[in-house]
Amino acid sequence: ALKGDAEKGKELFLGTCASCHGADAKGLPGLGQDLTTSAFVRQQTDAQLLEFIKKGRPATDPANTTGVDMPPKGGNPALTDQDLADIIAFIRTFNPHQP
């Protein structure tokens, strides 16, 4: 399993994910969910989150509550698995995994 670096992840998050999830990860109305309080995030392992972020979630997915596509890798195809692990490590600083 990849070990993420939260500091690197914060920079990557701000460059890719913040456009929908906000710089504070609290979500933007009509765009991205609040990741700081997300039960979905809490319940996923890091490996599950990595796969989820790689695939994204189309607006047509019944589990999509915003009606807006979450593109694979947040729309940044250049992100590597290590980059995603770093982003997940950053998200875990305010929303730890709780099975």
pLDDT score of 6: 98
pLDDT at 2: 86
* pLDDT of 1 higher than 80: no
Q: How many folded domains does the chain comprise?
A: 1
Assign residue 68 the CATH number of its domain: 1.10.760.10
- pLDDT tens-digit map of 47-81: 999 999 999 999 999 999 999 999 999 999 999 99
Res 27: pLDDT: 97
Range of the domain at 72: 6-93
Q: Residue 98 falls within a domain, yes or no? A: no
The per-residue pLDDT for 23 is 97
Cβ contacts of 72 within 8 Å, gap of 6 or more: 53, 54, 55, 56
Q: Is residue 99 part of a domain?
A: no
The pLDDT score that the predictor gives to residue 99 is 78
> Which pLDDT score is estimated for 57?
96
Torsion angle in degrees (nearest 10) through CA of 65, 67, 68, 73: 40
pLDDT tens digits along 26-51: 999 999 999 999 999 999 999 999 99
Rounded to the nearest angstrom, the gap between the alpha carbon of residue 6 and the centroid of all alpha carbons in its chain is 13
For the chain, report the end-to-end CA distance as a whole number of angstroms: 18
Does residue 52 belong to any structural domain of this protein?
yes
pTM: 0.95
- Residue 1 forms part of a structural domain: no
